[in-house]
Amino acid sequence: MLTVAQVHRRFARVHAVNNISFHVSAGEIFSLLGPNGAGKSTLLRMLVGITRPDSGHIAWQLDGATHTRLPSHAIGYLPEDRGLYQDQPLIAVLEYFGTLRGLTPAEARASATTWLERLELGARLRDKVGSLSKGNQQKVQFAAAVLHRPRFVILDEPFSGLDPLNQEVFLGFVRALRDDGTTVLFSAHQMALVERLADRLFVMQHGREVLHGTIPTVRERWGSGRRLLLQVTQSPDEALTILRTHAAASDVERRDDGTIVITLDAAHPVGDLLARCAQLLSIIDVRTEQPSLHDVYINTVGAVTAPTAASEDA
Ligand SMILES: Nc1ncnc2c1ncn2[C@@H]1O[C@H](COP(=O)(O)OP(=O)(O)OP(=O)(O)O)[C@@H](O)[C@H]1O
């Protein structure tokens, strides 16, 4: 549905988006990740058509036709800088956004009312936007991005500023959009939510790609490996010494709660290792653990060094 090919955008000496390519399929939830200043918002603004790439191209496939920019009725956008008219009633603001996206005033009003009720703001539809809390304003902005039922939705940090309960509510809304056939691309910093929501993720840093793939692929390829977690009757320090000396387990550590953690690798199949541990230690409990997306992100992004101005200009 969307192809981004070698897209580049520079501000003075900063390569905000540096040779980025990816593809988003119809019906997918695609997540864009990266630390502050990585280039996510700049890339999203180019996808919406607010700014243009210096080079590279963006192509949308819709109903058999290819577009460089999607028609406004087909795209919804939640910008990072939330911009609602503070002194207007919620219903008037949403009706206005709906008509900008091709709905009639009556259609816009009906859809806005439905969304405000869904967002538990039905009782406040005549209140001014400025009288709402930050989180509730975010809900209204979300409604403005989706009330015209676009085919493709771009959400720039939809979870920022929301309490944990409302993060769950938004997670449900994004899933509902996908179930309705909408393709969703969102940026976020909340790894645990991304892990539960996204089909595929793309991590960028200093404008460049550092990680790209489905969640299981990314975990498998870039994760630091599965871990074996043991609770034993021996003291943790004694257990560490025994394992390092007699089980050839070099990547072994203890957690604050006394759990012994052995990172698995191909040279030590879990069955063999567990059998050896059982010979050496008195095991009370055993389980394995997958690296979380958070672990993968920290390991990968933490390992990238910043480009110098000289290397960027080269
Ligand atoms: N209009 C602009 N003029 C100059 N520099 C800009 C402009 N917009 C973005 N930049 C720079 O481009 C880089 C990428 O910024 P961008 O806002 O895209 O990052 P981001 O990944 O969205 O960050 P955050 O997670 O903090 O929102 C930053 O170094 C930023 O200062």
Q: What is the C-alpha to C-alpha distance for residues 310 and 13, in angstroms, rounded to an integer?
A: 10
What is the Å distance from ligand 1's center to 51 Cα? 13
pLDDT at position 206, please?
93
Q: What is the C-alpha to C-alpha distance for residues 75 and 174, in angstroms, rounded to an integer?
A: 15
148 CB-near residues (< 8 Å, 6+ apart): 73, 76, 98, 101, 102, 103, 108, 111
CB 239 within 8 A of CB 232: yes
From the list 88, 87, 136, the residue with the least C-alpha distance to 116 is: 136
Which of the listed ranges 56-70, 238-252, 262-276 does the model predict with the highest average pLDDT? Answer: 56-70
What is the Å distance from ligand 1's center to 33 Cα? 14
| Residue 66 DSSP one-character state | E
Whose CA is closest to atom 3 on ligand 1?
Answer: 11
pLDDT at position 249, please?
64
From the list 45, 25, 7, the residue with the least C-alpha distance to 187 is: 45
Question: How many other C-beta atoms lie within 10 A of the C-beta of residue 13?
Answer: 8
What is the Å distance from ligand 1's center to 41 Cα? 7
pLDDT at 266 > cutoff 70: no
Q: Which of 13, 42, 304 to mutate to test the pocket of ligand 1 (most atoms within 8 A of CB)?
A: 42
Span 78-102, average pLDDT: 89
Whose CA is closest to atom 31 on ligand 1?
Answer: 37
At residue 224 the predicted structure's pLDDT band, cuts being 50, 70 and 90, is low
pLDDT at 126 > cutoff 90: yes
From the list 134, 40, 47, the residue with the least C-alpha distance to 80 is: 40
151 CB-near residues (< 8 Å, 6+ apart): 62, 70, 74, 75, 181, 182, 183
114 CB-near residues (< 8 Å, 6+ apart): none
Higher pLDDT, 296 or 111: 111
pLDDT at 5 > cutoff 80: yes
pLDDT at 149 > cutoff 70: yes
Burial label, 178 (beta-carbon count in 10 A; 0-12, 13-18, 19+): middle
What is the Å distance from ligand 1's center to 168 Cα? 28
Q: Which of 8, 14, 210 to mutate to test the pocket of ligand 1 (most atoms within 8 A of CB)?
A: 14
Atom of ligand 1 nearest to the CA of 43: 18
User: Sign of torsion, CA 304 310 312 314?
Assistant: negative
What is the Å distance from ligand 1's center to 57 Cα? 20
The question of ipTM being above 0.90 is answered as yes
| Residue 74 DSSP one-character state | G
Domain at 2-220: CATH architecture: 3-Layer(aba) Sandwich (3.40)
What is the Å distance from ligand 1's center to 14 Cα? 9
Q: What is the C-alpha to C-alpha distance for residues 156 and 234, in angstroms, rounded to an integer?
A: 50
CB 135 within 8 A of CB 161: yes
Span 149-164, average pLDDT: 92
pLDDT at position 310, please?
46
What is the Å distance from ligand 1's center to 16 Cα? 6
Q: Which of 20, 40, 48 to mutate to test the pocket of ligand 1 (most atoms within 8 A of CB)?
A: 40
Q: Which of 11, 15, 54 to mutate to test the pocket of ligand 1 (most atoms within 8 A of CB)?
A: 11
The answer regarding whether domain 224-289 maps to CATH 3.30.70.2070 reads yes
Tokens of 116: 């405000």
Atom of ligand 1 nearest to the CA of 80: 27
What is the Å distance from ligand 1's center to 38 Cα? 7
Identify the helix (H) or strand (E) that includes residue 168.
helix 164-179
pLDDT at position 230, please?
94
pLDDT at position 20, please?
97
Question: How many other C-beta atoms lie within 10 A of the C-beta of residue 133?
Answer: 10
Where are the strands (E) in 40-102, listed by range? 55-62, 65-67, 75-78
Span 24-28, average pLDDT: 94
pLDDT at position 307, please?
65
Q: What is the C-alpha to C-alpha distance for residues 107 and 104, in angstroms, rounded to an integer?
A: 5
Domain boundaries, the chain: 2-220, 224-289
pLDDT at position 172, please?
93
Span 248-271, average pLDDT: 82
pLDDT at position 29, please?
97
